């Protein structure tokens, strides 16, 4: 990526949403030259499939399919399906983000019905603080579901679950979502400008 003519360098910024968030955190934990990472409603544990890097394998976070809630019209709520990566004894699925040298911006919606984003983010920040790390910021938005797009994108409180390929509650309230879009987008841009611009 650093050799791409449109990449300014000297470092790389990553923006990851949902599964892209845990991939971005994994890249920052294992690769050099990742300077800034923004994750939006992304888990801090590896999900879906095992992640392999050199001789390291991070298994996927176990899921509890029996916790799926079924609403009318066969619309499902998956918010409590992933296991709690901070409570599973001997859990190996947590991404070792304490190894990341990048600056991290965690964004979470309090009405996320795909993963418990707020809980993941707050527990991650406690973990980082316990490791003596200060390279992170956090933005939590009430009334925001799993999706948080740039300003003026429409709200989709129901959509297809990216893993289970079923109709799912994504969450979100229109006014809160719209306000969060307008607030978050310039915060993300300012974060990247601060940590990616070559001094």
Given the residues 18, 26, 79, 117, the one annotated as active site: 18
Backbone angles phi, psi at 15, to 5 degrees: -120, 115
Catalytic site residue from 103, 113, 146, 161 = 146
Residue indicated by tokens 């429409």:
154
* Residue listed under structure tokens 């971005």: 24
Q: Which of 112, 113, 117, 178 is catalytic?
A: 112
Is residue 100 within 8 Å of residue 38, measured between CB atoms?
Answer: no
Q: State phi, psi for 186 to the nearest 5 degrees.
A: -65, -25
Q: Give all strands (DSSP E) within the chain, no chain letters.
A: 12-17, 34-40, 51-53, 56-58, 69-71, 75-77, 103-109, 136-141, 158-160, 167-169
- Quickly list H helices, the chain: 19-30, 117-130, 174-196
Query: Which among 107, 94, 106, 115 has a CA at the least distance from the CA of 45?
Result: 94
d(CA 129, CA 151): 32
Written as six digits, the tokens of 22 are: 């845990």
Per the annotation, the verdict on 146 as an active-site residue is yes
Q: 3-state DSSP call for residue 63?
A: strand
112 annotated active-site: yes
Active site residues: 18, 112, 146
């Amino acid at each position: 990526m650093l050799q791409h003519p449109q990449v300014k360098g000297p470092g790389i910024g990553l923006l990851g949403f949902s599964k892209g968030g845990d991939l971005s955190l994994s890249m920052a934990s294992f690769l050099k030259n990742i300077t800034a990472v923004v994750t939006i409603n992304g888990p801090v544990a590896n999900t879906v499939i095992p992640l392999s890097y050199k001789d390291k394998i991070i298994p996927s976070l176990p899921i509890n399919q029996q916790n799926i809630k079924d609403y009318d019209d066969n619309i499902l709520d998956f918010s409590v399906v992933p296991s709690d990566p901070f409570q599973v004894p001997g859990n190996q699925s947590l991404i070792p983000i304490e190894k990341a040298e990048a600056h991290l911006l965690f964004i979470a919606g309090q009405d996320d019905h795909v993963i418990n984003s707020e809980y993941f983010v707050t527990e991650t920040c406690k973990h980082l603080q316990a490791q003596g790390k200060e390279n992170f910021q956090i933005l939590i938005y009430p009334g925001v579901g799993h999706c948080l797009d740039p300003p003026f994108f429409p709200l989709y409180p129901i959509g297809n679950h990216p893993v289970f390929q079923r109709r799912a509650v994504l969450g979100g309230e229109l006014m809160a979502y719209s306000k969060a879009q307008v607030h978050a987008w310039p915060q993300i841009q300012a974060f990247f400008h601060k940590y990616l611009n070559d001094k």
